[in-house]
Structure 1
Amino acid sequence: MADITAAAVKDLRERSGAGMMDCKKALTENGGDMEAAVDWLRAKGLATAAKKSGRVAAEGLVGVAVEGKTGAAVEVNSETDFVAKNDQFQDFVRTVSQLALKTGGDVAALAAAAYPGGGTVQEKLTANVATIGENQQLRRTRVVSVNEGAVVPYVHNAAGAGIGKIGVLVALEGSAPVDKITALGKQLAMHIAAASPLALNEEGLDEALIDRERAIAMEKAATSGKPQNIIEKMVEGAIAKFRKENALHSQIFVMDNKTKIADVIAAEAKAAGGSIALVDYVRFQLGEGIEKQTSDFAAEVAAAAGTAKPAA
């Protein structure tokens, strides 16, 4: 039997919203596997759908930059939020965001790119680690572009120009006036920051994720006591709802809470007297998908002082 720690129970409780004893039971039933425990709780109706953003824990900054009809986003991680407030670190993220415009969304190419003043991006990052005194990592980057239209940037929880906790790029292709496209892009970017879509359209959703949702829905429906044909309809209904709620084009616009994003774009294109198509987007939220170790500060101090109590 896996050793279920209090820290693991606390983590699961924060991620799922379920009660402490339910979280402990979920971990016990699943051998301490956190993801399996989340699914177990959801299948039992004891937790709400967990998004990747529920695992956000790493510190640092996300940066976005746009030049012409191309936009780039980067994420640079640090150990603490104190570094994210450091001018040297912030300047590095802004500079790297600009450099990322030329490296095609490849982290290795970005790390090897020449950094202003000499050396490469990776060498500058290594130097920053030495001078700031904390580990830092160039985690990811992505680039989007259009032939006609605009790429619109947006930063939520901004720490400064072009840097913050959530960075969004919206790629809108079309013949409508650029000012109209840009205004729409800003609204869509704010929607994306808030609604956290998982794909541009339903066809783009990860099938492995759909399979996972189907398994959860099936287990939930199985407890209803209804005939198999009804259960199958319930499951497919749940999957259809999941697809609509997580694909950007079919999401409901957060600005009015009633119109599909696809319809918002169509209406704006008609009003602008030209074409507008949402062809791509980027949403980077700081630390999403990274598990951060938690520690008991008092215990660490006690251990350092040699006064820690022996384990029972």
Structure 2
Amino acid sequence: MADITAAMVKDLREKSGAGMMDCKKALNETAGDMDAAMDWLRTKGLAAAAKKSSRTAAEGLVGVAVAGTKGAAVEVNSETDFVAKNAQFQDFVREVTQVALAEGDSVDAIKAASMASGTTVAEVLTNNIATIGENQSIRRARRLEVTKGAVVPYVHNAAVPGLGKIGVLVALESEAPDEALQALGKQIAMHIAAAFPLALNEADLDAATIERERAIATEKASESGKPADIVAKMVDGAIAKYRKEHALVSQLFVIDGKTKISDVVAKAGKDAGAEIKLVDYVRFQLGEGIEKEQSDFAAEVAAASGVPQKPDTQPEA
């Protein structure tokens, strides 16, 4: 039997995009012949992952999970919504969410961590790409933790428990009873899913976003023809309104449309007999910010066949 070195396995993995264990097995099956090992992987459908990795993945699932006073949310993308219904993919997202509970926000750390099988997340991901037949990626992760209190999860329109297209975590610091924190957290999480706040507090809003809004408000106010001092006040008013509408604690509760979230939290604390602090939140919506590629099937077929596509022409009148 040929001596299969780690360097050989690494080289084959880089060339094929297949998982580490698959590459090792391929080399063992082919007595260390690199070309034959590549062919072996191709016959098993395991060398296709590298090519698939260039395709846009904007579908998939968001997963949320909690353990004690910690909670984690992850987004794992695929190319089509069909994969989100695949049990293998769902199990992977569910387990990656559990890994994020231990590893935190770093996608690299999550991918390097071992799953229950002993195989790394990255290797399982590569194998899934090959076996399911679509590009997949772990896009982002976030972990929240409180010293006392609760991190409450919520998935809007969950496909299966803990998995869906919008996942929310709400971190509440308090010595209030857990049932009170869970009820409050669920209500706030539902609000977050619907209202899409951009930050917890007004001071946390992105400075570049505020400046962009200020420029827009200035242009609109200037068109009014009012004096400069009035225009300045109009702009300040518009920015103040924007801050209130996009910071979570100052948003109006979607359930009643009139109570600020900060007041909802304060009342819940009073009712529970202990102060409750809303300290952080996470809202992951599947595919937000990803620009999906627009595919022209006719052009793809023409390109594959080597026949140039005729430009669209309109008949003359």
> Aligned partners of 2:92, 2:145: CA distance in 1, in Å?
23
Does 1:161 pair with 2:161? Answer: yes
Superposed CA offset, 1:239-261 (max 9, x none): 00000000000000001000000
Read off the aligned partner of 2:146 and give its amino acid letter: V
Q: Tell me the secondary structure at the aligned position of residue 159 of structure 1.
A: coil
Q: Tell me the secondary structure at the aligned position of residue 105 of structure 1.
A: coil
Superposed CA offset, 1:143-163 (max 9, x none): 001111110000012111100
Superposed CA offset, 1:99-118 (max 9, x none): 10011211111110101112
Q: Tell me the secondary structure at the aligned position of residue 211 of structure 1.
A: helix
Superposed CA offset, 1:168-192 (max 9, x none): 0000011111100110000000000
> Aligned partners of 1:198, 1:142: CA distance in 2, in Å?
16
Read off the aligned partner of 1:97 and give its amino acid letter: T
Percent identity over paired residues: 69
> Aligned partners of 1:253, 1:240: CA distance in 2, in Å?
18
Q: Tell me the secondary structure at the aligned position of residue 160 of structure 1.
A: coil
Q: How much does 1:300 deviate?
A: 4.0
Superposed CA offset, 1:68-109 (max 9, x none): 000000000111111111110010000000110011211111
Where do 1:32-181 residues align within 5 Å? 58-181=58-181
Q: Which residue of 2 aligns with 1:283?
A: 283
> Aligned partners of 2:117, 2:261: CA distance in 1, in Å?
44
Q: Aligned residue pairs: how many?
A: 256
Read off the aligned partner of 2:309 and give its amino acid letter: A
Q: How much does 1:119 deviate?
A: 1.6
Q: How much does 1:275 deviate?
A: 1.2
> Aligned partners of 2:311, 2:256: CA distance in 1, in Å?
58
> Aligned partners of 2:87, 2:308: CA distance in 1, in Å?
38
Of structures 1 and 2, the one scoring higher in RCO (CA 8 A, sep 6+) is: 1
> Aligned partners of 1:152, 1:204: CA distance in 2, in Å?
22
Q: Which residue of 1 aligns with 2:14?
A: none
> Aligned partners of 2:296, 2:243: CA distance in 1, in Å?
40
Query: Does 301-310 or 199-208 show the bigger shift?
Result: 301-310
Superposed CA offset, 1:235-287 (max 9, x none): 11010000000000000000100000000011111111111110000000001
Q: Tell me the secondary structure at the aligned position of residue 165 of structure 2.
A: strand
> Aligned partners of 2:282, 2:300: CA distance in 1, in Å?
39
Q: Tell me the secondary structure at the aligned position of residue 71 of structure 1.
A: strand
Superposed CA offset, 1:46-68 (max 9, x none): xxxxxxxxxxx920110001000
Q: Give the TM-score normalised by the residue count of structure 2.
A: 0.78
Q: Tell me the secondary structure at the aligned position of residue 239 of structure 2.
A: helix
Gapped regions of structure 1 (runs ≥ 5):
1-56
> Aligned partners of 2:299, 2:133: CA distance in 1, in Å?
23
Read off the aligned partner of 1:290 and give its amino acid letter: I
Q: Give the TM-score normalised by the residue count of structure 1.
A: 0.79
Q: Which residue of 1 aligns with 2:197?
A: 197
Superposed CA offset, 1:27-60 (max 9, x none): xxxxxxxxxxxxxxxxxxxxxxxxxxxxxx9201
Q: Tell me the secondary structure at the aligned position of residue 194 of structure 2.
A: helix
Q: Tell me the secondary structure at the aligned position of residue 158 of structure 1.
A: coil
Q: How much does 1:309 deviate?
A: 2.0
Q: How much does 1:308 deviate?
A: 3.4
Read off the aligned partner of 2:194 and give its amino acid letter: A
Read off the aligned partner of 1:92 and give its amino acid letter: F
Q: How much does 1:303 deviate?
A: 5.6
Does 1:308 pair with 2:309? Answer: yes
> Aligned partners of 2:301, 2:157: CA distance in 1, in Å?
33
Gapped regions of structure 2 (runs ≥ 5):
1-56
Q: How much does 1:296 deviate?
A: 3.3
Read off the aligned partner of 2:80 and give its amino acid letter: T
Q: Which residue of 2 aligns with 1:51?
A: none
